[in-house]
Copies of this chain bind each other. A is one copy, B any other.
């Protein structure tokens, strides 16, 4: 009945090939006179999701996480991953071949200093490192008298026998009634922002997609067309894109805005700018060192800073917001149908984690509008729910038993990207579960109810999501929220509700509000809605004030709430939220779901 089309449950890591492949790589390095090679998880755009052809780190080591870096020397190799992956790495990678290291506590720089010999040449692919990462590695190598050597093409591509072809997904235009602003107006706005330079290299494909109002399908779960663009201060931009991705119709439309060139032409164009002494702005977060080097080697001046598009893209316009709200209503209907179904089905004891994921995706597909899931669903029962980034596989799958079930999922619709997490009681929850759930909910409500002046950043607000947990000596080890794109990445910067989110929040920015609590080995809780920064009118206000509009609509499990822990304003918020859920979702679902919804969103009273 249910099936999953947009996500798989295969174990994708295979530690058994590591020794062989490291050996092949070492031979290739030896042939080139190199003493080692750096293999990051990145592609040419520092994407979160990369095309199969760019999964060099996974091919070499077996590691399938979304961030990491391996350094292979002649007699040893190390792989660096962050705290999310310290357990996973030990299952996916052969530690005798690749020594696992903590990316933050024992970073590559220190390892380079300890293991590289004077005179050694450490190779790297200049398309896969940003200038700042490269500079850090170069400083470390220089300290011990070694040096970093750019290597192109990547030696892994030479030994990776069945390397997939680079993706060529069709590009389509994002219509005006979805994008809200024409591409030529966006181009003019960015050109104004870069007036102090001769031009901007757009290296983040999300920024390219926003600028030209295009979407694609080159990587998983995010409608990205992999491409670079060059935007001169004045005049026509150039879009570097494989012509095979463009239908004639799309091509004609794009030619009204830009010159279209093959990706190969990019380096030559940058060198030409360099020879003319141009000052070019590059995006520090995504630009490959290859490009800044090309400009500088030719005599140009590279300014590596923030791409101004990032902030423009983050603040959604009215049209985008209207689409996003529609996408969220549609998504809410699917989630409600799933939750109603789940409440019945989970009682049988026969439902598995994969079964739940397949059902939810199927409910979403029934709208006929689902383009993709926004990420592989996180669906964990019991101890699996305590792993914030758990992905169920055929091996890890288990029946959903009594206790807590956590499901974090999202959808890509043409009019918007969704991301929602609910934690659901299966059977009778313990008092501890209810206490923790209520504290997480208090944090969620604290964020939802905030008002704050313009200029305030997410870093200043994150702690409000934690206070109720702190009061009990508890906390959670991730940020409270990330930015979300408009039919783009479900993880979008620079806005963030976290210590690191120092950018002031602006009207139209979308964030997730997802505090949690995790009891490792036992169970986990997370409650997530998406919120939009909106202007607030307050009588007598002396500042421009903002607040959050919550745009995700699904019942929050009343069986998990200890009403006496909620203040009156918190209860009022919950009841008003549930009334909105009912009003939004009831017209969109079938009668049984509607009945379930009415019960699940009933008002709670003062205890």
Residues of A near any B CB (own CB < 8 A): 450-453, 456-457, 459-464, 466-467, 470-475, 499, 538-543, 545
> What residues of chain B lie closer than 8 Å to A461, measured between beta carbons?
463
Known A453-B475, A475-B453: A545·B460 in contact at CB below 8 Å: no
> What residues of chain B lie closer than 8 Å to A452, measured between beta carbons?
463, 466, 470
Which single member of B464, B471, B541 contacts A472 (CB below 8 Å)?
B541
Residue of B nearest to A451 (CB): B470
Residue of B nearest to A547 (CB): B470
**Complex Cα–Cα for A461 and B453 (A):** 16
> What residues of chain B lie closer than 8 Å to A545, measured between beta carbons?
470, 473
> What residues of chain B lie closer than 8 Å to A472, measured between beta carbons?
538, 540-541
Which single member of B456, B457, B463 contacts A464 (CB below 8 Å)?
B463
**Complex Cα–Cα for A502 and B466 (A):** 18
Give min CB distance, A37 to chain B, whole Å. Answer: 29
Query: Does more than half of chain A's interface fall in helix, strand or loop, or is it mixed?
Result: loop
Which single member of B451, B470, B542 contacts A471 (CB below 8 Å)?
B451
**Complex Cα–Cα for A464 and B471 (A):** 14
> What residues of chain B lie closer than 8 Å to A462, measured between beta carbons?
460
Give min CB distance, A475 to chain B, whole Å. Answer: 5
Pick from A473, A499, A545 the residue with the most CB of B within 10 Å: A473
Q: Is the CB of B460 within 8 A of A543?
A: no
What would 8 more interface pairs be, CB under 8 Å, given A456-B463, A473-B539, A473-B542?
Answer: A452-B466, A463-B463, A464-B464, A470-B545, A473-B545, A474-B541, A474-B542, A475-B543
A-B pairs with lowest CB-CB distance, top 3: A473-B541, A473-B538, A460-B463
Which single member of B453, B467, B499 contacts A470 (CB below 8 Å)?
B453
- Name 19 interchain pairs, CB-CB below 8 A, sorted by A: A450-B467, A451-B470, A451-B473, A452-B470, A453-B470, A453-B475, A456-B463, A459-B459, A463-B463, A463-B464, A472-B540, A473-B538, A473-B539, A473-B541, A473-B545, A474-B541, A474-B543, A475-B542, A475-B543
**Complex Cα–Cα for A456 and B466 (A):** 11
> What residues of chain B lie closer than 8 Å to A471, measured between beta carbons?
451, 538
**Complex Cα–Cα for A472 and B453 (A):** 10
Q: Is the CB of B463 within 8 A of A543?
A: no
> What residues of chain B lie closer than 8 Å to A542, measured between beta carbons?
473-475
**Complex Cα–Cα for A472 and B474 (A):** 31
Residue of B nearest to A538 (CB): B473
Residue of B nearest to A475 (CB): B453
Give min CB distance, A241 to chain B, whole Å. Answer: 36
Known A470-B452, A473-B538, A538-B473: A499·B460 in contact at CB below 8 Å: yes
**Complex Cα–Cα for A472 and B499 (A):** 25
Residue of B nearest to A459 (CB): B459
Give min CB distance, A459 to chain B, whole Å. Answer: 6
> What residues of chain B lie closer than 8 Å to A464, measured between beta carbons?
463-464, 467
> What residues of chain B lie closer than 8 Å to A459, measured between beta carbons?
459-460, 499
**Complex Cα–Cα for A459 and B501 (A):** 12
**Complex Cα–Cα for A452 and B473 (A):** 8
